[in-house]
Amino acid sequence: MEKSTHELRKENNRLDGLIKEENQAVFTDIICYLRGSKLSEHDVEVVRFDLTSMVLEAQERGENIGSLFGKCRDYKEFCDEIIDSLPKKTKFQAACEFFSTFFLACSASLLIGIIFSAGFSGKIIKGKLPAASIKISVGEGIVIILIVVIAYALVKLVMRSAFESETIFFKISTIAVSTVASAVLIFLPLLLKDTLLTLDLFVGIAIVVLMFGAGKTLERFI
């Protein structure tokens, strides 16, 4: 009987701990690149299991991950061959992946927005109970949206640039983008203080829970 994606991931996570540190960097880049491809999550976990088994067998022979590729160390080309040999994820799976990421990011961002709002954190700092309703400013609302967009974009960028993370250009670009993004996320709430909406605390928490649940449910169809 074929294992589910969840079962495969759980088994792969266990086996991952057996991979030696000297092989982890390349192995992680390979899996990261595969995750950023158009393969389904299930196929990625199947390939991950096979690759993990190969790496562990190589370790038992006293060899490193490089021995699996012979003289050709083009890991990206190796990954592209795997990707081309397998069916691509369906439109339904791609949609489920997008909305799963969207709902999970929204739930995390909204939770952060609630926690750091004046009606919540401000009251807690003063030793008082949080307000029954939370005011979210225009700046905080924009930050919540930006966190979702930036988080999604960064995840995709890291996955698709797995074999370029050591280049100077990639490092400089990452630092520059991170600096600008951090400045925007910090100063927007300070500059745009007008109230965007007033949200009942329990309604806000319920929305967070529902979006988190929706995101986790959609993960099962990826």
pLDDT in tens, 5-23: 888 999 999 999 999 988 9
Q: What is the pLDDT of residue 102?
A: 87
What six digits make up the tokens of 169? 């250009």
pLDDT beneath 50: ranges in the chain: none
Amino acid, single-letter form, for residue 128? K
Q: What is the pLDDT of residue 52?
A: 94
Closest listed residue to residue 156, CA positions, set 167, 148, 145: 148
Amino acid, single-letter form, for residue 185? L
Q: What is the pLDDT of residue 184?
A: 74
Distance in angstroms (rounded) separating the CA atoms of residues 179 and 176: 5
Phi, psi of 121, deg, nearest 5: -65, -35
Distance in angstroms (rounded) separating the CA atoms of residues 141 and 130: 19
Cβ-based neighbours of 83, under 8 Å, separated by 6 or more: 34, 37, 38, 39
Amino acid, single-letter form, for residue 56? L
- On whether the CB atoms of residues 41 and 74 are closer than 8 A, the answer is no
Residue 221's alpha-carbon distances to 71, 100, 135, 148, in angstroms, are 39, 10, 36, 21
Amino acid, single-letter form, for residue 175? I
For the question of whether the overall pTM of this predicted structure is more than 0.75, the answer is no
Q: What is the pLDDT of residue 36?
A: 85
Residue 220's alpha-carbon distances to 5, 84, 148, 215, in angstroms, are 8, 24, 21, 9
Distance in angstroms (rounded) separating the CA atoms of residues 215 and 46: 22
> Helix or strand or coil: residue 74?
coil
Q: What is the pLDDT of residue 202?
A: 85
Beta partners for residue 21, in sequence order: none
Residue 109's alpha-carbon distances to 13, 104, 113, 144, 171, in angstroms, are 27, 9, 6, 5, 26
